Structure 1
């Protein structure tokens, strides 16, 4: 088994080809930069593809770019087909585009709910469906999905964000054994708080006064006090996270989940322990609902 770590990065990625969504900022940008610096080819897509112009000027034809709103399924399929046609084999697909929405379930608008599910859940599903025929045809590859510590834990006010992330985790965990026979590995990346611009793009619902003194109201006060800089003092290093993402692609077998950040590890560990305790507390009830065994 390959047990490379971020300190011993995933071997030599020179000559490999990645497809990265959400490549213009955050983790996607950091992964794209590191791959290019190490000699890989990258098909980088983003809504604001002009933000990649500086990388194109430095790395030339090793960077292939396309404008894409991943929630446009037909456009997504077209861009995927163009990328495989232009670049041939693509070794790793890094599905990274996403955003957050905040508000009590009652506060969220219909539009915010639709957008959150479309971007964080439906788009990764459709991206995987679009790339799978190509990965099968070439004999395998990797699909890496950015989830979050919030794919395992929850915070008041994050109901739709958590719904989308828990949903994509359930989808991909189900698909993992479906595609393993074709040499396709899938990894869910679960970062904690990272110093990116994620907070600046957070969609915040209009407040309902009734929630002011509830846990949702407390979280809203924290967001307001941050002035939009929610992750400015986060302990997660985006460069180290990017290195870990790249390293995961060379780890065999593909890790199903990868918690990144001490806060992610602690939060997930606590949540899983609590859920196991809750399950054990209802064990007798669970067994009591079986048919009686006949002697």
Structure 2
């Protein structure tokens, strides 16, 4: 058995039957040939996965590295291996004068995980910079490329969560960044900055994230546990009858996004502890390992939050974090 405590940021003291490191695309054929018919789980930096109990299969640790840069008169073109750190990539783009990623600073995880979740923050989503994605088709043992238009990107969503779920392994992501990319500062607190440079946006985002979110190196967590729900105007009006100041952001003519943290906060979950797992006292969207937490406690707390939000607001929260049980993903 292989200890997983240091391989996922929530830090539960769990184990896997086996672990293999993926260091080259050439390793993929042999790895999946050996794993045929067995349970496996692909892991990057472990910031969006929580191992609730011992995993009976093999963990594949993504160590694919490499960044290639090309440019034209109007664009930078980056081909980035899926095992690269996302935040380090953001720093790298700033260093070469390629701007646009700065709003996504300090988001944990690897480059390969970014398009699966379609990570986003402060008015920017990663999909707007993605041109193509290269992946390994596990069943057919072939390397493929998918165009942006076929990725079905949406809020925290993509084809990799649906039609291609557990069927492919992303090997690299190809980005196209316009050289005249405008600074995005429409969201607070970035909108308080006066004519900011991309570096100032980068620094402000880091400052805010460090103020709001606990450091997983100090207090085990996996960032935002739930997605911000998108609801109909009918649901919004129903909530406004009781909470006239409910925060919301218009998504379409008939739908809005409501912060999940606000919903959870209204129900008094801040600081609540279940078997060593706590709803963070400053940011209720983050569940943390108090040091002696376990998977059972996490499920108890998360399910209670989900149930109470459903009962109070008629909104079904969806977990953003992936929950891994003995043989694979667990439904909350």
Tell me the TM-score normalised to structure 1 length: 0.31
Q: What's the TM-score once normalised by structure 2's chain length?
A: 0.29
Name the one with the larger helix percent.
1
Larger strand percent: 2
Bigger relative contact order, structure 1 or 2, given CA contacts below 8 A and separation 6+?
1
